[in-house]
Amino acid sequence: MARAVADEDEKKQLQRQSPVPGEAEYKCHPARNDLRSFFTSNQQRENGGAGASEGQVQRNTTESRDAEHRQQAFVESVIANLEQIVEDADAEPQLAQDVGGIKDFDPKIHVFADPALRIPIEAFHPDTRDEVRRAYLLNGPTQPVGHNFPRKSVDNRVTDEKFGHDAFTKAGYRNWRNAYHGFPLHVGGPSSYHNRARMDADDFNNQRSSIRHNVQTHTKEAEQKYEVRVTASLDIATFLLMQGHAIRGHDKSSSSQNNGNFLEMLEWYKTRKEEVKAAFDELCPTNARMTSHTIQKDLAKSCAREITQVIKEEIGDSLFSVLIDESRDISIAEQMAVIVRYVNKKGIVVERFLGLKHVKDTSADSLKEALVSLLAKHGLPIARLRGQGYDGASNMRGEFNGLQKLIRDENSYAFYIHCFAHQLQLVVVSVTSAVSSFDDFFNYLGLIVTSVSASCKRKDMLTENHRLTILDKLERGQNFTGRGKNQNTNLSRPGDTRWGSHFRTLTRIELMWDDVVTVLSMVHEDARNPGRAGGLVHQMESFRFVFNMKLMLKVLRITNDLSLLLQRKDQNIVQAMSLLVDVKTRLVNLRNDGWDVLLNEVKSFCNAKKIPIPNMEDAIPRWGRSRLAEITITQEHYYRVDTFFAAVDAIITEMDHRFSEVSSEFLVCFSCLDPRDSFSNFNVDKIARLTEIYDQDFSDDDRSRIRDQLETFILHVRRVDEFLACYDLESLAAIKS
């Protein structure tokens, strides 16, 4: 009796120390170290034991040989695994769910009839535990046959209703003297542990009748319809996102005639496919229709994540550049739009929108923090950044505290290149800030276009007058017929950022001068209340307006070809740099020798339109000054110095500042690899210069051998026909890949 009590105390102590249920029981159980002996004795009993016939033993051996080998191997693995589990538990306690457990369950190997040898349910993987329980329940009640029950001391302790929770599976039962009292006590009432375990077993056998099963499980047909609904909703959302259309509408009520693109396209889709119509309309659960605004947002976010992941995989470990601009949404929230530019595995230069990042303010530090966090989120380190493209704002392009400087402090190879087309627009914009009279001129220009094109009636009047003017000139021989000549046209509103639109507007006003003045006069006469049309006629028919128009046309004609070239997708950098030099030269020549030519053109135009020409020697007050100040200058000084020279000098100075030699040299060096005309722009010295710019990417040995390698390269590419078919750097990179 004392020995049994001591064993029980030792067993409870081990249970308290064991972090994983069942490990301590296996550690203290006698069968833990006797599995091999049990298997041997069990095999002898199954083979017939004493008194069995030789034929019976042979037949039993033949039928169970495979199962015996598998079970013997499993017993050995169980011993090793349990020892390892106990050692791990003693060394470092951990939660039971952290142990993986047995995943491959085989009833012939893992199911034991003897409760003392059964593997604890905690030793199995959570995904296989239901299968283990089901295997034991399918076996039904079992009774050991031919087992030699050893004699043990009988325990006289009083039991309670909890005594059976481990007696038949782990600890063993010894109080057989009081069994007729203990068993009914263990069974207990309806809420006893025994009855609750029995009801759990019954519920486990009949899962389909439980509420949980009815809530969580569905028929195969319902699952198929759900898959059809998800697929249809995803297809529609993908199409709308690819086309850049809005998903939701502002009114999705039953009385609305337009429920938004998503729902309307879904209705159209259902009329085309019966499978989709059946999935949405036939016994479709209201909580699984896959059409709510939450589902639409989730689909859009999922598509965005997938697209971003594809972009990240396409970049891989390659180098990349970023293009950044500031934008505000409809809620006036400041955001930063980020685009990545890189060369894919096919050698094609691609630009992909990476995402929007909210920023608290537009300071350089905040923008840098937002950019670094966005790139880090997508696994794009700053170390692989090789280019930056921003606008001309001081917080972006500042040489000391701008965003590009802060990025270059961390990565000196992330060169900043401002968009050349945008820079050229800013160069022309500088005229309005340098010469105040041009600011007034462009304001009047916008008012003229607005007044003439304010209504369809006025547009028709302008078009009809222009048609009659063309016919009159054709009759008098001033115009000639031909393809593309004498076309009907109208005034176009100048844009704020595209100065090419200003050039188009000025050209059409010069062409349609008489018609514009006529329409403004008619508007002034037909207006019930005094308007500004009459004042605009007075402004147009002034020498100052004509002079400013002719000067801006002269400047914009010089820069227009360069502007169009810089906006081409397949622009040739070498040609653009060469044309940039030519534009600068033409502007210098215009300043030195263009005054007399310009003045004669203005006078000729004024004489044709009967506009009075002022005497260039007359004294007038400076622009913006009162006559009372008695600070006067001559008309010639005003038009020649304060207007002509000031405007041209401002453009030349701004062009030299924005098209710096550093960025120009950088691009010209790369442009020497242009394969057009059999690599006619190839220059060994300029390409070798790139090894000095990217000094850390090239060793001293690489720089010493680069010129010889380039000489060999140019001979090879000019000889091989495959390179002769290249027409730009992209096609050259594709061959290399």
**pLDDT tens column, 628-666:** 877 888 999 999 999 999 999 988 888 887 776 556 677
What is the band of 161 on the pLDDT scale with cuts at 50, 70, 90?
A: very low
Assigned token pair, 573: 């950098």
pLDDT at 151: 62
Assigned token pair, 470: 């063309």
Q: Which residues neighbour 522 within 8 Å (Cβ) at sequence distance 6 or greater?
A: 461
600-636 CB burial, b ≥16 within 10 A, e <16: ebbeebbeeeebeeeeeeeeeeeeeeeeeeeeeeebe
pLDDT at 173: 66
Q: For 477-521, how does the pLDDT look when each residue is reduced to its tens digit (9 = 90+)?
A: 666 666 656 666 767 776 665 666 788 888 888 888 988 898 888
Q: Which residues neighbour 349 within 8 Å (Cβ) at sequence distance 6 or greater?
A: 341, 342, 343, 729, 730, 733
168-172, 336-340, 460-464: which is most confident: 336-340
Name which residue leads in pLDDT, 269 or 490: 269
Asked if pLDDT for residue 226 goes beyond 60, the answer is: yes
Q: What is the mean pLDDT of residues 559-571?
A: 76
Asked if pLDDT for residue 627 goes beyond 50, the answer is: yes
User: Which range (64-78, 178-192, 495-509) has the least confidence?
Assistant: 64-78
H/E element, 651: helix 646-658
Q: What is the mean pLDDT of residues 343-357?
A: 86
Q: Which residues neighbour 399 within 8 Å (Cβ) at sequence distance 6 or greater?
A: 405
45-54, 121-130, 658-667: which is most confident: 121-130
Residue 123 DSSP one-character state? G
pLDDT at 402: 85
Percent of the chain with pLDDT over 90: 16
d(CA 43, CA 61): 9
207-241 CB burial, b ≥16 within 10 A, e <16: eeeeeeeeeeeeeeeeeebbebbeebbeebbbebe
Assigned token pair, 80: 């090793």
78-110 CB burial, b ≥16 within 10 A, e <16: beeebeebbebbeeeeeebeebebbeebeeebb
Name which residue leads in pLDDT, 514 or 727: 514
Closest CA to 123 of 132, 134, 114, 115: 132
> Across the strands, what pairs with 336?
326, 357
CB count within 10 Å of CB 403 equals: 26
Asked if pLDDT for residue 80 goes beyond 70, the answer is: no
Q: For 282-337, how does the pLDDT look when each residue is reduced to its tens digit (9 = 90+)?
A: 878 877 888 888 888 999 999 999 999 999 999 988 899 999 887 777 777 888 89
d(CA 408, CA 464): 59
Name which residue leads in pLDDT, 648 or 722: 648
255-259, 374-378, 453-457, 678-682: which is most confident: 374-378
Residue with tokens 């495979």: 66
pLDDT at 636: 92
pLDDT at 19: 38
Whole-structure pTM value: 0.58
pLDDT at 152: 58
Assigned token pair, 608: 């044709």
> Across the strands, what pairs with 337?
325, 356
Asked if pLDDT for residue 18 goes beyond 50, the answer is: no
Q: What is the mean pLDDT of residues 191-220?
A: 68
Residue 342 three-state SS: strand
Rounded to the nearest integer, the mean pLDDT of the chain is 77
d(CA 539, CA 521): 12
pLDDT at 574: 65
Q: What is the mean pLDDT of residues 25-54?
A: 43
pLDDT at 529: 62
Q: For 361-371, how does the pLDDT look when each residue is reduced to its tens digit (9 = 90+)?
A: 888 888 898 99
Q: Which residues neighbour 335 within 8 Å (Cβ) at sequence distance 6 or greater?
A: 326, 327, 328, 329, 356, 357, 358, 359
DSSP 357-388: EE-S---HHHHHHHHHHHHHHTT--GGGEEEE
Q: What is the SS3 assignment for 124-187?
A: ECHHHHHHHHHHHHHHCCCCCCCCCCCCCCCCCCCCCCCHHHCHHHHHCCCCHHHHHHHHHHHH
Measured CA to CA in angstroms, residue 344 lies from 307, 314, 352, 571 at distances of 15, 6, 11, 20
What is the band of 75 on the pLDDT scale with cuts at 50, 70, 90?
A: low
Q: For 406-416, how does the pLDDT look when each residue is reduced to its tens digit (9 = 90+)?
A: 998 888 888 88
Q: What is the SS3 assignment for 239-282?
A: HHHHHCCCCCCCCCCCCCCCCCHHHHHHHHHHHHCHHHHHHHHC
pLDDT at 425: 75
d(CA 404, CA 401): 8
What is the band of 86 on the pLDDT scale with cuts at 50, 70, 90?
A: very low
Burial (CB count <10 Å: 0-12, 13-18, 19+), residue 292: exposed
Percent of the chain with pLDDT over 70: 74
Asked if pLDDT for residue 464 goes beyond 50, the answer is: yes
Asked if pLDDT for residue 97 goes beyond 50, the answer is: no
pLDDT at 70: 56
Name which residue leads in pLDDT, 397 or 390: 390
Q: What is the mean pLDDT of residues 456-463?
A: 82
Q: What is the mean pLDDT of residues 131-140?
A: 82
Asked if pLDDT for residue 149 goes beyond 80, the answer is: no
What is the band of 98 on the pLDDT scale with cuts at 50, 70, 90?
A: very low
What is the band of 571 on the pLDDT scale with cuts at 50, 70, 90?
A: low
Closest CA to 101 of 118, 126, 119: 126
19-28, 40-49, 328-337, 427-436: which is most confident: 328-337
Asked if pLDDT for residue 595 goes beyond 90, the answer is: yes
pLDDT at 586: 92
Q: Is 59 left (phi over 0), alpha (psi -120 to 50) or beta?
A: alpha
Asked if pLDDT for residue 462 goes beyond 60, the answer is: yes
d(CA 393, CA 336): 14
Name which residue leads in pLDDT, 181 or 236: 236
Burial (CB count <10 Å: 0-12, 13-18, 19+), residue 361: exposed
pLDDT at 158: 46
Q: What is the mean pLDDT of residues 215-221?
A: 64
pLDDT at 34: 41
Compute the C-alpha angle 440/443/448, nearest 5°.
Answer: 125
User: Which range (13-22, 241-250, 416-425) has the least confidence?
Assistant: 13-22
Single-letter amino acid, residue 690: L
Assigned token pair, 690: 């790139």
pLDDT at 67: 52
332-354 CB burial, b ≥16 within 10 A, e <16: eebbbebebebbbeeeeeeebeb
What is the band of 405 on the pLDDT scale with cuts at 50, 70, 90?
A: confident
What is the band of 340 on the pLDDT scale with cuts at 50, 70, 90?
A: very high
Q: Are 682 and 714 in contact (CB under 8 A)?
A: yes
Residue 321 three-state SS: strand
pLDDT at 551: 93
Assigned token pair, 398: 């500042």
